[in-house]
Amino acid sequence: MNRDDLINAIRTRMPEKRVVHTLGVMETAIRLAKVYGVSEQDAELAAILHDVVKFADREWMKQTIVEQQMDPILLNFHHELWHAPVGAYVAQQEFGVSNQDVLNAICYHTTGRANMTKLEKILYCADMIEPNRKFPGVDDLRQQDEQGLNELMKACVQRSIQFLMQKNQPVYPDSIHCYNDLVTRKE
Ligand code: DGI
Ligand code: FE
Ligand code: FE
Ligand code: FE
């Protein structure tokens, strides 16, 4: 499928506002891919599909997590986390995506994880700083862009974990592993 076909396909699965977010993520991910020497096509594909099941039926997502033997502890965490791994599954099954890096970028776009590839980091950060995002501190995050991908990623993960802690929300282990990996990395 080309870009327009993919965008039309996701349009049928989400409200217009989420399509606008997705296009913002696409634009930002392509820009970051250019800067950091990652395939722009991969960034585009991962971005267009990253929230493909954001509005899917919750019970169906739960069932898919069980049937596909995804991490069972996902079910103990907020249902907001489910659309990322289930989205990767749908990208593969329904959209025929076979590039494992693209699938992993979708799978880990909400929590992050340790040892992320450049593409995974690009999608995670693009999701957070795309032009339509409005939350306190988002402009500071956008500025981190100039410090390199790892610094940008670190700032985004810190913001995300701080936000969850402020709201007394549990933090999924992969997010902690992601943070630890970024702060202990010597580069
Ligand atoms: O799908 P988007 O809204 O574009 O963004 P996203 O996929 O990054 O999802 C963000 C939501 O997921 C947000 O409401 C916070 C929540 N979230 C992210 N990481 C964690 C989390 N919730 C919990 N409980 N634990 C996490 O580690
Ligand atoms: Fe998402
Ligand atoms: Fe995110
Ligand atoms: Fe998103």
* pLDDT tens figures, 101-154: 999 999 999 999 999 999 999 999 999 999 999 999 999 999 998 999 999 999
| Mean pLDDT across 31-35 | 98
Mean pLDDT rounded to a whole number for the chain: 97
Task: Compute the average pLDDT of residues 72-100.
Answer: 98
Complex prediction ipTM: 0.89
- Residue 12 phi, psi dihedral angles, 5° rounding: -75, -10
DSSP state of 181: H
Residue 186: band (very low, low, confident or very high) from pLDDT cuts 50, 70, 90: low
User: Beta strands of the chain (E only): which ranges?
Assistant: none
Give the domains, in start order, of the chain with CATH numbers.
3-184 (1.10.3210.10)
Q: Is the C-beta atom of 57 inside 6 A of ligand 1?
A: no
Mean pLDDT of 84-111: 98
Lowest pLDDT segment from 1-5, 19-23, 120-124:
1-5
Residue 187 has pLDDT above 90, yes or no: no
Look up the pTM and report it.
0.96
Which residues have CB under 8 Å from 101's CB, separation 6+?
Answer: 42, 117, 119, 120
Q: What distance in angstroms lies between residue 4's CA and the mean position of ligand 3's atoms? A: 24
Please work out whether the CB of residue 19 comes within 6 Å of at least one atom of ligand 1. Answer: no
How many Å lie between the centroid of ligand 3 and the Cα of residue 163? 12
pLDDT value at residue 83 = 98
CA–CA distance, 59 with 109 (Å, rounded to integer):
21
